[in-house]
Amino acid sequence: MKEAIIRIQSIEFENFKNIQKGNIELASYRQKSYYNGRAEVVGIYGQNGSGKTAVIEAYRLFKLVASGEGLPEEIGNYIYELEDEAKLKFVFYIERKEEKYLVYYEFAIRKKENQVELSSEKLLYSDICENSKRKKIVEYNIDNTDTPFLPKVRYNEIIKNDKENEFNLEVIKRLSIKEKTSFIFNDEIREIFEKSSDGKYSNIISALKYFANVNLFVITNEHTAPISLNLIPFIFRMENDTTVTRGDIAIKLLGVSNIDKERYDIVIQIISQLNIVLSLIIPDLKLEINNLGNELSKNAEELIKIELMSTKKDIKIPLKYESEGIKKIISILSTLIAMFNNPAICLMVDEIDAGIYEYLLGELLKIIEQRGKGQFVFTSHNLRALEMLNKESLVFSTTNSKNRFIRITNIQNNNNLRNVYLRSIDLGGLNECIYEETNSFEIAHAFRKAGEYFGKE
């Protein structure tokens, strides 16, 4: 399904992290245009601790689950404190040749005896036309002992086609429970559906899986934290006629890294690609690799010793000494370029603004929105985006955990959304509170009292 284009449309949260209820619909979904060949940008804004990062985390979890990987270790922290089960509901648009669908995928995670299990999954689709009904492809529930999945008619169809599937499905289910992996996105499920049911179903499953695995990039602070720890992750995606290579390669910021020939070639390519854009974003800055020669590893593998340098007008310094912002830009730039050029790519970045100069951030966002092709979702505290992006591209988190996300609409065109937002923080006037009230006079007083805490001088 490499040729399919998948676009995220909406996400709904139930008891996920600090979101009891919340829902974000992209403008394309609300307008029922789904995909018009252009970039779609979503900026999520809000007070600290109001659920912005949870949006990015939800897609990270989707990426793991739909790629067929097990739930991550820290999964227990993903369920709203006072509840036992969290649910995420996603809507995607799939376009593949002449076929166009909306696909609905949801899954739940549940606390059980100090463990967290993937307790249910549901996959539905509908055609793109007015009043098209949703049709269920697979409904899976860990508690359902009658048949491994529903609807029964689909199960029966598959069993009828090949009696062995009865046993196979039972094994897959047990394995999914044990490994805490998705039932629906298990490779064998797709094969069974391919052989024994409507080919449409297996196409949808594999398209989603391919998207999760190859085209959805979720960059949380975990990715960028290594920058401070002397590593720079090159998050990349390279494509030629036959294959797509993607992943991240971590290179030491200070000192020498030993990498094999294959990764060396990738890094060389990434760096030439980055330099095309980099020197324009940060004038005259170029990235270079110092090749310090070959070396044999313990298991006789040939390794190349490299060192990352930045050059500015013939002055060469180790990349480590560049600012955090420059390192952050470098680490995500390759993916940003891929998303800019490819409508099938969705890039999500938590705290895009960290360390990036406000003006530059604003210009980059505008360029992506106006001329890009992919989907770009970010969280930020920097309000410049409110002046640069369409208001349809902006979502605001609220202080109400039962209605976590709102949009600010009905704004006159001559009104600056940034000012409207700041004013609403201070004076309210929206239907939901977007800011847990702070009293600046009280903060000023507290600063002074804190200074006197250990006794007045």
Residues 78-107, mask of contacts with other proteins (x by CB under 8 A): -------------x----------------
Q: Is the Cα dihedral 341, 343, 347, 352 positive or negative? A: positive
Of 343, 428, 368, 332, nearest in space to 43 by CA: 368
- Report the distance separating Cα 154 and Cα 173, nearest Å: 16
What is the maximal distance between C-alpha atoms in the chain?
86
- Is 424 a residue that touches other proteins (CB under 8 A)? yes
Stretch that binds other proteins, among 115-123, 240-248, 281-289, 430-438 (CB under 8 A): 430-438
Q: Are 92 and 10 in contact (CB under 8 A)?
A: no
- Is 420 a residue that touches other proteins (CB under 8 A)? yes
Minimal distance, residue 117 CB to other proteins, in Å: 26
Of 249, 251, 254, 321, nearest in space to 285 by CA: 321
- Number of Cβ atoms within 10 Å of the Cβ of 157: 14
Closer CB to other proteins, residue 140 or residue 421?
A: 421
Q: Residue 150 class from Cβ within 10 Å (0-12 exposed, 13-18 middle, 19+ buried)?
A: middle
Stretch that binds other proteins, among 24-32, 112-120, 207-215, 354-362 (CB under 8 A): 24-32
Minimal distance, residue 443 CB to other proteins, in Å: 10
- Is 300 a residue that touches other proteins (CB under 8 A)? no
- Which of 146, 439, 447, 454 touches other proteins by CB under 8 A? 439
- Report the distance separating Cα 160 and Cα 178, nearest Å: 27
* Whole-number Cα distances in Å, 100 to 127, 128, 141, 280, 427: 7, 6, 28, 39, 45
- Is 27 a residue that touches other proteins (CB under 8 A)? no
Closer CB to other proteins, residue 129 or residue 427?
A: 427
- Which of 30, 160, 174, 381 touches other proteins by CB under 8 A? 30
Minimal distance, residue 134 CB to other proteins, in Å: 10
Stretch that binds other proteins, among 17-25, 174-182, 183-191, 223-231 (CB under 8 A): 17-25
Find the binding residues for other proteins in span 377-406 (CB under 8 A): 403, 405-406
- Is 419 a residue that touches other proteins (CB under 8 A)? yes
Of 63, 123, 11, 72, nearest in space to 345 by CA: 63
Q: Are 25 and 89 in contact (CB under 8 A)?
A: no
Give the Cα-Cα-Cα angle 96, 100, 101 (nearest 5 degrees).
Answer: 120
Paired sense of beta strands 375-380 and 346-349, if any = parallel
- Is 276 a residue that touches other proteins (CB under 8 A)? no
- Is 426 a residue that touches other proteins (CB under 8 A)? yes
Stretch that binds other proteins, among 61-69, 141-149, 204-212, 444-452 (CB under 8 A): 444-452
- Report the distance separating Cα 31 and Cα 65, nearest Å: 29
Minimal distance, residue 61 CB to other proteins, in Å: 20
Which residues bind to other proteins, rule: CB under 8 A? 10, 12, 23-25, 30, 91, 403, 405-411, 419-420, 422-424, 426-432, 439, 441-442, 444-445, 448-449
